Amino acid sequence: MLTYTYNIFLFLGILLSVPLFFIDDFKFKKLHQILFGVVVMVTILETFGTYLAENGMQNVIYYNLVFVYLETLLLLLFFQNVYPNKKAKKYTALSIGAFILWAIIYSVFFQSLFVFHSTSYVIGGTILICCSLYFFYGIMKEDWYHDQNLLGLPMFWIVTMIMFFYSGSLLYFASINFISSQNIELLGKFNIIIQALSVLMYWVMGLSFYIPVWIERKSKIIGK
C-alpha cells in the first residue's frame, strides 16, 4: 500500500510540473526540462520496479542503471547548467565523464548489475553533495546571486533538497547489501523515511520553478 502511495505522489509531481512547459519566456526552461526528465524517469522506474517485484522478477538491474547511474548523471548535468563560472562547469563535465567511466569499469569487472551497486551510489551521492556545497560556497563567497532574492530562485530550493536527500540516504543505500533478514523490519521503516524525502525532493524539483513565475506576476500586478 505504501509503495502505491509513493508512486501516486511521484505521478502527481509530474502532473504539477507539466503547466510550466506552456509558460512563455520561462527563463529556467532548460533546468526544468532536465529535472522533469529525472522525475518522469524515476516514476517509470518505481512503477515498473513495483510490478516486477510483485511478480517475483528481478528489478535490481533497472535500479542500478536508472537510479544509481542515470539519475546521478542528470543531476550533475543540472549542476553544470546552474554554475555561472566556466571553471565549475569544466570540473562538473569532468565528473560526468569520470562517473560514466567508473560505471562501465565497475559493472564489467567488479560487480554484476543484478546486485545493487551501493559503492557507486555512495560515490555518486558524495559527488552531488560536494556540488551542492560548492553551490552554497558560490552564493556566500563569490556572490553569484548578490542582486537577486535567493528565496525566489528555484535552484536554491532544489540544491538544498538534493543535499538533504543524499546526505540522509547515503548510509541507508551503502548498507542495503549487508542488512540481514533479521533487520528487514528496521529496513522497511528506514525505507519509508527515504521515500518521504525523495518525494519531497522530486516535488521541489518541479514546484520550485513556480516561485519566480509567481513573483514576476505579482510584481506586474503591483506595478499596475
44: region left, alpha or beta (phi > 0 left; psi from -120 to 50 alpha): alpha
Q: Supply 128's cell numbers.
A: 552531488
163 falls in which pLDDT band (50, 70, 90)? very high
Q: Supply 121's cell numbers.
A: 551510489
Residue 224 confidence (pLDDT): 46
- Please give the model's pTM, rounded to 2 decimal places: 0.87
Residue 3 confidence (pLDDT): 67
The angle subtended at Cα 132 by Cα 195 and Cα 94, nearest 5°, is: 110
Q: What is the mean pLDDT of residues 144-172?
A: 85
Average pLDDT over all residues of the chain = 85
CA distance 208 to 13: 11
Taking the mean position of all CA atoms in its chain, how far away is CA 168? 13
196: region left, alpha or beta (phi > 0 left; psi from -120 to 50 alpha): alpha
Question: Is 64 within 8 Å of 117 (Cβ atoms)?
Answer: yes
Query: Which residue has 512563455 as its cell numbers?
Result: 24
* Closest residue by Cα to residue 33 from 17, 49, 55: 17
- Using the predicted structure, report yes or no on whether residue 190 has a pLDDT greater than 80: no
- Using the predicted structure, report yes or no on whether residue 43 has a pLDDT greater than 50: yes
- Using the predicted structure, report yes or no on whether residue 193 has a pLDDT greater than 80: yes
CA distance 36 to 42: 10
- Using the predicted structure, report yes or no on whether residue 169 has a pLDDT greater than 80: yes
Question: Is 124 within 8 Å of 69 (Cβ atoms)?
Answer: yes
Other CB atoms within 10 Å distance of the CB of residue 193: 12
* Closest residue by Cα to residue 135 from 90, 98, 96, 80: 80
Question: Is 163 within 8 Å of 133 (Cβ atoms)?
Answer: yes
56 falls in which pLDDT band (50, 70, 90)? confident
Residue 181 confidence (pLDDT): 55
